[in-house]
Amino acid sequence: MIDNSDAVKLLDSKRDNAVFVATMNANNVHFGLPTVTSNEKLDFPISGAMSKASDVALGLALAQPDRKILCLDGDGSLLMNLGAMVTISNKAPKNLVHVLFNNKVYAVTGGQPIPGGEQVDWEDMAKSAGYARVFSFDNLEDMTNGIDEALAAEGPVFIHLLITPQIENTPVQFRTPAKRTVHTAIADLPETLGVKR
């Protein structure tokens, strides 16, 4: 298994000028993207509509075809919106990388097991959905060795990561608030991307 912080740190180190659309544990304020990001202005945290980060990333990828867009998704989140995998592969944006942080639990609600956590084969699922390339890593060494090829591949790319669960039990309203939120990103990301309205 791969430590959540190690995974986001490695992805961030390879980001260049990519936008990261991050949700759930991948965006955790204690051990997710906010703790390692090297380009916060290009981070697009998605909260408030669980499961929809991949769709936001698809829209952004279609709007900005010359820029790499990485969606850092959660397994419980993606299970809520499995159709998005087909929606993405149908439009087939070459610049979209969908990274699944699979820890097999609902980590932000106390660690309850997700349905089918021990039987769902995400690699097969992504291949069947029609992603152009599919990669899977279950340890940091393999991820370190293989990530460059995965990120260089023509998309849509799906990267499955087997992640060590890190559980939160604190109710949402009592958690440490994130410095960068979806509202921050909505306010400044268009300008960072050079969007003129």
Residues that bind another protein (CB under 8 A): 21, 44, 46-50, 52-53, 55-64, 81, 83-84, 86-87, 90-91, 182-183, 185-186, 189-190, 193, 195-197
Closer residue to another protein (CB): 78 or 147: 78
- In which residue are the tokens 């509509």 written? 49
Residue 90 beta carbon to another protein: minimum distance, rounded to whole angstroms? 6
Cβ burial of 24 (10 Å; 0-12, 13-18, 19+) is: buried
Question: At 9, which amino acid appears?
Answer: K
Residue 144 beta carbon to another protein: minimum distance, rounded to whole angstroms? 29
Residue 85 beta carbon to another protein: minimum distance, rounded to whole angstroms? 9
Closer residue to another protein (CB): 53 or 163: 53
- Chain centroid to Cα 121, Å, comes to 18
Closer residue to another protein (CB): 53 or 150: 53
- Looking only at Cα atoms, what is the longest distance across the chain? 47
Q: How far apart are CA 71 and CA 152, in angstroms?
A: 15
Cα torsion 98, 119, 116, 111: sign? negative
**DSSP string for 22-75:** E-GGGG-TTTSGGGT-S-GGGEEE--SSTT-HHHHHHHHHHH-TTS-EEEEEEH
Closer residue to another protein (CB): 152 or 195: 195
Residue 64 beta carbon to another protein: minimum distance, rounded to whole angstroms? 5
Closer residue to another protein (CB): 118 or 197: 197
Residue 33 beta carbon to another protein: minimum distance, rounded to whole angstroms? 17
